[in-house]
Amino acid sequence: MNHSSVNLSRRRFLQMASAAGFGAMVSPSDLFAQYRYLSPVAVPNPLEAYPNRDWERMYRDIYRTDKTFVFMCCPNDTHNCLLNAFVKNNVVVRIEPTYGYGKAQDLYGNQASHRWDPRCCQKGLVLARRFYGDRRINGAFLRKGFKEWADKDFPRDPLTGAAPKELMRRGWDSWVKVSHEEANRYHAKALSNVAKTYSGEQGKKLLLAQGYDPDMVEQVGGAGTRVMKFRGGMAKQGAVRIFGTFRMGNSMALLDHHIRGVSPDEAKGTGSWDSYSFHTDLPPGHPMVTGDQTNDFELFDAENAKLIIAWGMNWITTKMPDSHWMTEARLKGTKVVAVTVEYSATANKCDDVIVIRPATDPAFALGLAHVIISEGLYDAAFVKRFTDLPALVRMDTLQLLKASDVFSGHKDSSLKNWTNVVPKGQYAPPTTQQKGVQIPEYLVKEFADFVVWDSKSKRPVALAHDQIGEHFDKLGIDPALTGSFEVATVDGKKIQVRPVFDLTKQYLDQNMTLESVSKITWAPREAILSLARDIAASSGQTLFACGMGPNQFWNNDNKDRAIFLVAALTGSLGRHGGNVGSYAGTYKNTLFSGVPRWTYEDPFNPQLDPNGAVKTKLYLRPESMHYWANGERLMKAGNKKITTGAHTPTPTKAIWQVNSNSSLGNQKGFYDVVFNTLPRCELVVYNDWWWTASCEFSDIVYGVDSWMEFKYPDMTASNSNPFVQAYPRTPAKRAFNTVSDNETYLGVARELSKLTGDKRFEQMWHFIAAERTDVYLQRIIDGSTPLKGYRFEDLENLAKRGVPALMNTRTYPRINSYEQVQESKPWYTKTGRLEFYRPELEFIEAGENLIVHREPSDATFYDPCAIVAAPHPAIQPKRPEDWGIAADDRSHITRQMRNTTYDVEGLLKTKHPLRDKGWDHVFHTPKYRHGAHTMPVDTDFMAALFGPFGDMYRRDKRSPSSGEMYVDMNPLDARKLGINDGDYVWVDGDPNDLPFRGWNDPARKDEYKVARLLVRARYYPGTPQGITRMWFNGYMATPGSVKAHETRPDGAAKNEETNYQALFRYGGHQSLTRSWLKPTHQTHTLITRKSWTNEVTKGFNVDVHCVTNAPRESIAKFTKAEDGGIGGKGLWRPVALGLRPANESPALKQYLQGGFVKIIKA
Amino acid sequence: MPKVYNWQIGREMEYPYEGVRPQKQFAMIMDTNKCIACQTCTVACKTTWTSGRGQEAMFWNNVETKPYGYYPLGWDVKILEKLGVQDISGPVYQGKTLFESAPAGERILGYLPDDLDYAHPNIGEDDSTSNMGQGAFLQVPHMQWMYYLPRICNHCTYAACLGSCPRQSIYKRPEDGIVLLDQQRCRGYRECVKGCPYKKTHFNPMTRVSEKCIGCYPAVENNRQTQCTITCIGKIRTQGFIAPPDKAREDNPIDYLVHVAKVAKPLYPQFGLEPNVYYIPPVHVPPQYLYQMFGGGVEEAIKNYRNASADMKLLGAMLLFGATPEIIHHYKVEGRYTIGYDEKGSELVRVPLKEPIYLRVVYDDKYQTHRSNIT
């Protein structure tokens, strides 16, 4: 036994006592009295033994809980986790993963392994603080002005029919708490009133009088229900409860039937808004190449790859539970490369990191393609067997040469290879019974035989849609990839034809040389060369994991097409370990192919027998919400209309959305939407379990159950993992006065039944009322190819134990293009092949029939939307003058229709129109690890951990919360502008439109104050000069949050009435964004597969071929606002202490160099 | 002062108490190459243990981005600066430990952080070194870099908190080596806060006593790994027990990784505390910085780690991370599986070294449906 060998000096003891807070003691004897407990217990050696350990019980008591239950956590992050809630005294005190994922099986006994465990994240584990948080919506709320309007029986302007402006002050108004039933009554009455007002000729007149675009009014078709927009956000997250919004919208055909007195055949449901394309998650070039919505691979395919490219994908922050598949693949020898615009979080998990200028991804990919082609590294067999690159293009029309053009009396081949023609007047079989691609008879002519030049026989040869892969091999031909050929057409003309490959090669040789690509993209030449060679050396084994980054720029389809080209050139498609994927959003709801049996059930014939057959009929009219977010403006300029036909939206007079804060509260161009567009709307309803910014701007808010207290089971799955998962019913009591989303539909339907006397409204929700949601879920399962065979009851029982099941897709891991590449089945395209040439008129007019690089629409230092193309015979876009557009008109909408071409040197001489006026920085807004969209970033712990400025005690009262948002700037840029690390800055976007149109009207100064972005600046050395970044995930300032921090003694930006908590004092990241509508997304000619079926369609296809917006497009001006020190005095403390980047103290400098050790290596 | 043997520095050193090793020593390995800084561990810890009043700024577990992240602010820069430049050449540490550098009349060289140093728990998040140019091509080692360092209490063999507590309120549990701070006996002098170079004891201004990471002993006593480990979705952690090098057992994954494969290294071994959390160093970071943090063996660690595909035992140990919430005492690689066992040798979990690929039928006659990857 050894006692401490250190004798404390008396002086030292006094110092310690002082530190302990007894410094005011007057005499040493008083002081020592404080330590009277010290003497009796002696601990000879605390390394060896300790006398009294009973106190340890304290932490065992904290750890011990009464019971546990499993719930499903499912924000919009594409993962979905069954989590274990630990309960003490009937309160959930902590949350843990279930370790049940390794137990998941499919219908055939295949099992996942425990390498899938644990599944959870910080956002799920913090939920116990959110389930009981003060922003839970306790009951239902009516906006005061709305209630007054309804109570007065909806008075309207006699000339225009518009609702009184003074009663539509959303965001500035106050609230009345009501019962859910009362809210249902108001809701049903308002729906009925809106439908009635805008029906028929009278409705049309009013809409025109209110100034709506006549093209939009025409799409209403006289049915007032069509001006309502219903939307379940990220609907796959709740097969019943979220898709239920669309079912509700579909059943509004009943309301139309009653209001207009039309027959069921003529009745119309509501408009329905998009989700995947609305979130700019859709990679719009994927359907242009494959005909399918999105080609991807489940992320655990990573370990089958030789090379992984995390391309604009911040994998480790946005795919957190699947990050280990990437890091473990690397551990086992896979090379991982980041293509990124900064030293991103993911960069530190990569072998190579290539930093490029934002939105130059198309050029970068084309640069890779150029190296691969010019060095002869491409897989010619793959190219000839699976792509349209050998197809001949007529140089006179720029159309593909058809077999019937050159072979007299040619009869197109019949479509038999995994393809079925659906005769006119018939329907395709149910999806579970579909044997491949379903082509409606009217589209068969689009799939005509095309022509290649056979190098063996030196003549043109017809190639059919079916002749892909091994079916192509049987022909024994060798199509030429390069060259120009003359052929005689059946009408006696001699025309030049060239393979797509040859035209593409010419474009690459002209514009995408190493030197040129390096200049456009900033990527060093050796980076382009190295990656291209790595891809070629990993032929068939490269995974292109593409993220939201490049997808959120205007040229996103150029990017997709170019990346596919690189993959196809090297055979990395449709193979385990070799494929293209795009990872944004919870898509692949198409894998729940039975969903239409729920959403589109015929409301005139609801099936009340649980085992009866369901009749479906589509009454909804899908449209893209981006037009609404664009101020309900279509794309047109000069004498040209781009937005026409099925792409054209209707006016929006009523909105009902569930499960989505991004559709309003985190909307692109948020302040323009809420201050300019939303006031024209007459009814805004949101269901939520947390008071978000969307709620701040609503008329009716329903407080609904959180995941903790689900009383109606549900079902979900994801695109990035193989699990189908039930939301189990939970034993937790409702902590607040909430209802299920399902009950809001039922409640409103009941009121509509009362108003109309038609029981069918209510009958549509019969099994909700009967608490038999499983009936609806089973109907979905029975209609879904990967699910059929499961019983919902079994899935729920498994989920209650924390165990999911596996989707029964064809392969585990599910990879797209598998059947095409491995089994020679066609893609959903006209040629059946991967298509790299787009012969449709819209593409030719846009100059994008070939894959080209276009500059982004705003986030560039050069001429926005410019096409990089030296003169090329196949690139013949419509010029501004062709469409009557003024030569220098680069306004927001018009610039997207300016198809101006420059060669590379020419482009680099141009300038963004705002560049000489102080708008010098690209400003982009990616997603980050601390939030799934906005969930749960305003929870105290999360806010405190979100970036460098968190402080649980809010020592600086300017901080809106226990954390706040910030903008990342390159330190050299910031210094030039006199901005110190941690200072507050004003950030302004294009003053013509932002933060909202009309901001400079003095009468709108209050709105401008709310909308103009004020935020902390962080010195961020990982971003290049000229490029600034701010995370997407913050709750933005609203009139209520601004009033709060300006008046509350504690300065918190927390609305005193609603408790809404902003993470900004003023403005938000969407102060600098606005809608962008790319013409090539609005064609009437592209062939694509519809969701939930193998049937193809032409033109507008919601969430597949429609506008996607470009929310990362902005160029910004920065102005210093306030010092960063507490209360605005001096430097932010960590800067003053020399502990920040670009302000290092000598000690920190030494530390960074590893200078506190010296080492001589033997 | 007594002399104790610290194997991490390869020599004896001064420590306030006679060296006594526990029957088992709590240990953890963290693979920085897999850490994604998601803070799930931080939130798991916080929601389990420190969600009360007075604990607002207290994070027993935190994840900081190196080199500009520190909780509390500048902790390692400050203590390294105080310790001065030390020679770490060779297997035997030539420099001075913190105990050996203690100012006269004190037991250890330390400092007491300011309250404000705890204000921003995630300062430095994702900040990298130097200045990004317009366009870059980085290859290993990245010349512009950052990485994530998750931290808990190191449950040191020669804990500085324990050694500096004048009231002897901090002790090491003989049964598992977890270092605890007696909440009843502590009087809040903050000597431990000052003494711990890792700053992993925290003063609670409400209770007026200090607190620290408890190694989740209520879980560990039940053979479960800590909360930060079982929630780690990066699967970067394993928690179990480590033996000193002379008693290392190859079938204990922690012993294997630390003592045999030598891929996991202690944090700032030169401080002399023999910390029991081990890190697999980040392979992309220039070595000079890593020597300072993990000692001279980092290059060997990185080399061995990058060779994992050829070392099935190493791979097998690594792929058991996160596969089970139970504590793995033994493991073996058998065929295409790696298998973890409990203390008594019962199988806890087996996982494949590579997840299998399954191919399902094109048409399922039993359930009358196609099975496809598209819809």
pLDDT of residue A42: 83
Look at A304 and B357 and tell me if their CB atoms are within 8 Å.
yes
Look at B132 and A1148 and tell me if their CB atoms are within 8 Å.
no
Sequence-separated contacts (24+) of A203-206 with Cβ below 8 Å: A203/A161, A203/A227, A206/A160, A206/A161, A206/A162
Rounded Cα–Cα distance for residues A776 and A1091 (Å): 19
pLDDT of residue B1: 83
Tally of CB atoms within 10 A around A764? 26
Give me the phi and psi of A977, to 5 degrees please.
-95, 10
Residue A283 half-sphere exposure toward CB, CA atoms < 13 A: 31
Rounded Cα–Cα distance for residues A842 and A849 (Å): 8
Taking residues A582-610, report their average pLDDT.
Answer: 94
Rounded Cα–Cα distance for residues B375 and B371 (Å): 8
* pTM confidence score: 0.97
In chain A, the N- to C-terminal Cα span, in Å, equals 41
Taking residues A822-846, report their average pLDDT.
Answer: 98
pLDDT-derived band of residue A40, with 50, 70 and 90 as boundaries? low
pLDDT of residue B145: 98
pLDDT-derived band of residue A586, with 50, 70 and 90 as boundaries? confident
Q: Can the peptide bond before residue B141 be classed as cis, meaning omega within 30 degrees of 0?
A: yes
Look at B369 and A789 and tell me if their CB atoms are within 8 Å.
yes
Span A788-826, pLDDT tens digits: 999 999 999 999 999 999 999 999 999 999 999 999 999
Q: What is the share, in percent, of chain A residues with pLDDT greater than 70?
A: 96
Question: Is pLDDT larger for residue A662 or for residue A121?
Answer: A121
How many interface pairs between A and B have CB atoms less than 8 angstroms apart? 495
pLDDT-derived band of residue A585, with 50, 70 and 90 as boundaries? confident
Rounded Cα–Cα distance for residues A602 and A253 (Å): 9
Q: How far is A591 from chain B (nearest CA, A)?
A: 5
Q: In whole numbers, what is the pLDDT of chain A averaged over residues?
A: 96
Look at B49 and A59 and tell me if their CB atoms are within 8 Å.
yes
Taking residues B356-371, report their average pLDDT.
Answer: 98
Report the chain A residue with the minimal C-alpha distance to residue B41.
A122
DSSP B123-152: TTTT--SS---SSEEE-SSPSS--EEEEE-
pLDDT of residue A1162: 67
Span B286-301, pLDDT tens digits: 999 999 999 999 999 9
pLDDT-derived band of residue A6, with 50, 70 and 90 as boundaries? very low
Written as six digits, the tokens of A32 are: 């020592």
Rounded Cα–Cα distance for residues A925 and A922 (Å): 10
Rounded Cα–Cα distance for residues A189 and A740 (Å): 21
A291 burial level (CB within 10 Å; 0-12, 13-18, 19+): buried
pLDDT of residue A23: 40
pLDDT at B65 over 60: yes
Rounded to the nearest angstrom, the gap between the alpha carbon of residue A1073 and the centroid of all alpha carbons in its chain is 15
Q: Which residues contact A153 (CB under 8 A, 6 or more apart)?
A: none
Rounded Cα–Cα distance for residues A366 and A514 (Å): 10
Helix (H) or strand (E) holding B46: helix B40-49
Chain A residues close to B357, C-beta within 8 Å: 304, 576, 811-813
pLDDT of residue A25: 41
Look at B375 and A1155 and tell me if their CB atoms are within 8 Å.
no
Chain A residues close to B134, C-beta within 8 Å: 357, 522, 1024-1026
Pick the closest to residue B172 from B23, B58, B5, B46 (CA basis): B23
Determine the 3-state secondary structure of A364 from DSSP.
helix
Tally of CB atoms within 10 A around A320? 25
Which A-chain residues 311-340 have CB contacts (< 8 A) with chain B?
316-317, 320-321, 323-324, 327-328, 330-333
Taking residues A46-59, report their average pLDDT.
Answer: 96
pLDDT at A16 over 80: no
According to DSSP, the residues that pair with A623 across neighbouring strands are A273
pLDDT of residue A28: 41
pLDDT of residue A29: 45
Report the chain A residue with the minimal C-alpha distance to residue B354.
A303
pLDDT of residue A343: 98
Which A-chain residues 819-858 have CB contacts (< 8 A) with chain B?
819
Rounded Cα–Cα distance for residues A770 and A780 (Å): 18
Question: Is pLDDT larger for residue A30 or for residue A193?
Answer: A193
pLDDT of residue B208: 97
Question: Is A964:A1016 a contact under the CB 8 Å cutoff?
Answer: yes
pLDDT of residue A661: 87
pLDDT at A587 over 90: no
- Window from A20-29, A256-265, A965-974 with minimum mean pLDDT: A20-29
Q: How far is A702 from chain B (nearest CA, A)?
A: 29
In chain B, the N- to C-terminal Cα span, in Å, equals 73
Look at B70 and A1158 and tell me if their CB atoms are within 8 Å.
no
Pick the closest to residue A5 from B361, B320, B99, B345 (CA basis): B99
Report the chain B residue with the minimal C-alpha distance to residue A348.
B147
Question: Is pLDDT larger for residue A13 or for residue B341?
Answer: B341
Taking residues A13-18, report their average pLDDT.
Answer: 50
Look at B134 and A357 and tell me if their CB atoms are within 8 Å.
yes
Q: Is the dihedral of CA A135, A139, A140, A145 positive or negative?
A: negative
Span B70-119, pLDDT tens digits: 999 999 999 999 999 999 998 999 999 999 999 999 999 999 999 999 99
Q: Can the peptide bond before residue B2 be classed as cis, meaning omega within 30 degrees of 0?
A: no
pLDDT at B49 over 50: yes
pLDDT-derived band of residue A31, with 50, 70 and 90 as boundaries? very low
Look at A953 and B119 and tell me if their CB atoms are within 8 Å.
yes
Span B300-327, pLDDT tens digits: 999 999 999 999 999 999 999 999 999 9
pLDDT at B167 over 50: yes
Look at B16 and A4 and tell me if their CB atoms are within 8 Å.
yes
Look at B183 and A342 and tell me if their CB atoms are within 8 Å.
no
> CB of A931 within 8 Å of any CB in chain B?
no
DSSP A186-222: HHHHHHHHHHHHTSHHHHHHHHHHTT--HHHHHTTTT
pLDDT of residue A258: 98
Pick the closest to residue A908 from A869, A867, A861 (CA basis): A861
pLDDT of residue B242: 98
Q: Which of B49, B86, B168 sits opposite A43 (nearest CB)?
A: B168
Taking residues A639-665, report their average pLDDT.
Answer: 96
What single-letter DSSP state applies at residue A790? B
Q: Which residues contact A713 (CB under 8 A, 6 or more apart)?
A: A726, A727, A728, A729, A773, A774, A777, A792, A796
Span B240-287, pLDDT tens digits: 999 999 999 999 999 999 999 999 999 999 999 999 999 999 999 999
pLDDT of residue B126: 98
| Pairing outcome for strands A853-854 and A867-868 | antiparallel
> CB of A161 within 8 Å of any CB in chain B?
no
pLDDT-derived band of residue A1155, with 50, 70 and 90 as boundaries? very high
Chain A residues close to B170, C-beta within 8 Å: 46
Look at A328 and B34 and tell me if their CB atoms are within 8 Å.
yes
Q: In whole numbers, what is the pLDDT of chain B averaged over residues?
A: 97
Q: Amino acid identity of B193?
A: V
Taking residues A8-35, report their average pLDDT.
Answer: 47
Give me the phi and psi of A59, to 5 degrees please.
-75, -30
Q: Which residues contact B272 (CB under 8 A, 6 or more apart)?
A: B6, B9, B13, B15, B93, B97, B98, B99, B100, B158
Chain B residues close to A342, C-beta within 8 Å: 132
Q: Can the peptide bond before residue A622 be classed as cis, meaning omega within 30 degrees of 0?
A: no
Span A736-775, pLDDT tens digits: 999 999 999 999 999 999 999 999 999 999 999 999 999 9
Which A-chain residues 442-501 have CB contacts (< 8 A) with chain B?
none
Q: Which residues contact A152 (CB under 8 A, 6 or more apart)?
A: none
Written as six digits, the tokens of B284 are: 């992309």
pLDDT at A9 over 90: no
pLDDT-derived band of residue A1161, with 50, 70 and 90 as boundaries? confident
Region of B374 please: left (phi>0), alpha (psi -120 to 50) or beta. Answer: alpha
Report the chain A residue with the minimal C-alpha distance to residue B74.
A1139
Which A-chain residues 338-367 have CB contacts (< 8 A) with chain B?
342-345, 347-357
pLDDT of residue A11: 52
Chain B residues close to A593, C-beta within 8 Å: 375
Task: Give chain B's length.
Answer: 375
pLDDT of residue A24: 42
Span A489-531, pLDDT tens digits: 999 999 999 999 999 999 999 999 999 999 999 999 999 999 9
Taking residues B5-29, report their average pLDDT.
Answer: 98
Rounded Cα–Cα distance for residues A433 and A429 (Å): 6
Q: How far is A544 from chain B (nearest CA, A)?
A: 18
Rounded Cα–Cα distance for residues B161 and A534 (Å): 51
Q: Which of B168, B270, B349 sits opposite A114 (nearest CB)?
A: B349
Span A388-411, pLDDT tens digits: 999 999 999 999 999 999 999 999
Look at A48 and B168 and tell me if their CB atoms are within 8 Å.
no
Q: Is the dihedral of CA A773, A778, A784, A788 positive or negative?
A: positive
pLDDT at A1023 over 90: yes
Chain B residues close to A102, C-beta within 8 Å: 323, 349, 351
pLDDT at A39 over 60: no
Span A461-497, pLDDT tens digits: 999 999 999 999 999 999 999 999 999 999 999 999 9
Report the chain B residue with the minimal C-alpha distance to residue A531.
B137
Q: How far is B151 from chain A (nearest CA, A)?
A: 15
Chain A residues close to B141, C-beta within 8 Å: none
Look at A357 and B130 and tell me if their CB atoms are within 8 Å.
no
Q: How far is B258 from chain A (nearest CA, A)?
A: 17
Q: What is the share, in percent, of chain A residues with pLDDT greater than 90?
A: 95
pLDDT of residue A12: 52
pLDDT of residue A76: 84
